[in-house]
Amino acid sequence: MWRRLKHEKPMHLLVVSRDLAEFYHIHPEQQADGSYRVSHVFPYGGEYKLYADFTPKGAVQVVKQIDVKAAGTERAKVALVPDQKLEKTINGLRIVMKPSAEIKAGQELMLNFQAFDAKTNKPATDLQNYLGELAHFVIISEDMKDFVHAHPMSKGEHEKMSGMKMDGEKSGEHSSNGHKHSTTEGATAKPSASEVSAHTAFPRAGLYKLWAQFQRGGKVITVPFVVRVPEGDQPKVAKNDSIPSDAIKITVSKNGYEPSEIKVEKGKPAKLAFYRADAENCGGEVIFSKLNITRKLPIGETVLVEINPTETGEISFACGMGMYKGKILVQ
């Protein structure tokens, strides 16, 4: 089955040990019979989980989880301990992670990463593209149930997002530089080759391990962080009595948008009622790029989006991370 390229590869295979101490990011190659194959050597015996991440043509992203038990001598388990300081130095590269907001379950935010040369303490402007971007991010929960392949945000994507109108905002209210970054304490600057961000959300409360991968001098450097995610805001009771009877109801859950395809008539106003039931999804906002509309979707609330399609065709919408997608067919 032909698969669409994602980050320059048709399939990403993440091999992770049960205690999250071992992490391998490899890429199976397609065989003549259409299957995918890759060679990997497990350094120790024990339990591992494989995450096969791919996007079939014309479909949404799929992540298949496979449990395996490797034979051989097992090593001592490594305890998962939250980092007291979100800063790591590996192979001459110092990485500082700065969340754009308080990390909590269900909260969409930007994880901003600043790269410095460990010897000079100056911004590392020699980062090379890895899988088509300046960085690559994977987040896995302690119980290994939650897997997030976070999307790296380039400068162009920052500017595109910052140009969107949020509820109650006027054009231009966003910073023209997108999300602010700082290369030194207390200073702000435009996104540079030494800075990259990930737009993500932690589905549930608990411990998570994040692997940020950068390429420098032709070598991939993997930088791990461990964070404790507290409970998010308590869900509010939806005021369903305020929803117009002619509104099209759309539920946002871990399964995406339900329904994900909606039919409306040209020249006839339509009301879309989005309801996000819980935090176990990345649907904290919905974006209609073609209409320049962005709406926040708080947990437990119904948010109304009104459109007036003036021409036939397709209007797509997606979550802020681009993982959940839907479309409106104007007939």
Rg over CA atoms, the chain: 21
pLDDT over 90 at 244, yes or no: no
**Of 36, 70, 104, which one is at a domain's C-terminal end?**
70
Are 95 and 217 in the same domain? yes
Residue that the structure tokens 């209210």 belong to: 173
Does 262 share its domain with 128?
no
Q: Are residues 157 and 204 located together in one domain of the fold?
A: yes
The pTM for the full model equals 0.70
- 301: its two tokens: 């609330």
Output the CA–CA distances (angstroms, integers) from residue 329 to 97, 265, 289, 290, in the order listed: 41, 8, 15, 13
* Least confident interval from 45-59, 182-196, 241-255: 182-196
pLDDT in tens, 184-203: 333 333 445 789 998 888 88
* Structural contact between residues 314 and 326, judged by C-beta atoms closer than 8 angstroms: no
Residue 191, domain CATH: 2.60.40.3340
Number of domains in the chain: 3
What is the residue range of 33's domain?
A: 3-70
Q: Three-state DSSP class for 36?
A: strand
Separation CA 324–CA 204 (nearest Å):
18
* 79 occurs within a structural domain: no
Check if the beta carbon of residue 176 is closer than 8 Å to that of residue 226.
no
- Domain assignment present for residue 12? The answer is yes
Q: In this structure, are 222 and 245 located in the same domain?
A: no
- Please check whether residues 65 and 41 belong to one and the same domain: yes
Query: In this predicted model, what pLDDT tens digit does every residue of 68-116 receive, in sequence order?
Result: 999 999 999 999 999 999 999 999 999 999 999 999 987 878 899 999 9
Structure tokens at 325: 């997608």
Instruction: Say if residue 91 is in the same domain as residue 225.
Output: yes
Query: Does residue 78 sit within a domain?
Result: no
Q: What is the pLDDT of residue 169?
A: 36
Calpha distance 285→157 (Å, rounded): 16
Query: Which has the higher per-residue pLDDT, 259 or 192?
Result: 259
Terminal CA-CA length for the chain: 31
Distance CA 201, CA 107 (A): 6
